[in-house]
Amino acid sequence: MVRLQILASDAGARVTQSPAALGAVRYGFTLIPAALMIVAILLQRQYTLDRTAMVSAAAASAPPRSG
């Protein structure tokens, strides 16, 4: 397990973050969201919505007609 220590600073004091902490922030804002988007795109490609699927979905969700 990776253990990171991100240092806080007081007002006016500068604190140098470790390379591991900077890397964790960089990966957390770039690679992880990109990987999640790729997974989402691959999953969404399995669901097609053409005219036939729309018509059948609308027919299935329409309330029954009494008449």
Least confident stretch, 27-36, 37-46, 57-66: 57-66
- Whether 64 maps to a domain, the answer reads no
Whether the full predicted model's pTM is greater than 0.75, yes or no, is no
- Whether 37 maps to a domain, the answer reads yes
Mean pLDDT along residues 58-67: 78
Q: Is 6:16 a contact under the CB 8 Å cutoff?
A: no
- Whether 18 maps to a domain, the answer reads no
Measuring CA to CA, which residue among 4, 57, 56 is closest to residue 27? 4
Predicted confidence at residue 6, as pLDDT, reads 65
Sign of the alpha-carbon torsion through 3, 27, 20, 13:
negative
Range of the domain at 39: 29-59
- Whether 19 maps to a domain, the answer reads no
- Whether 35 maps to a domain, the answer reads yes
Residues 24-40: tens digit of each pLDDT: 999 999 999 999 999 99
- How many domains are there within the chain? 1
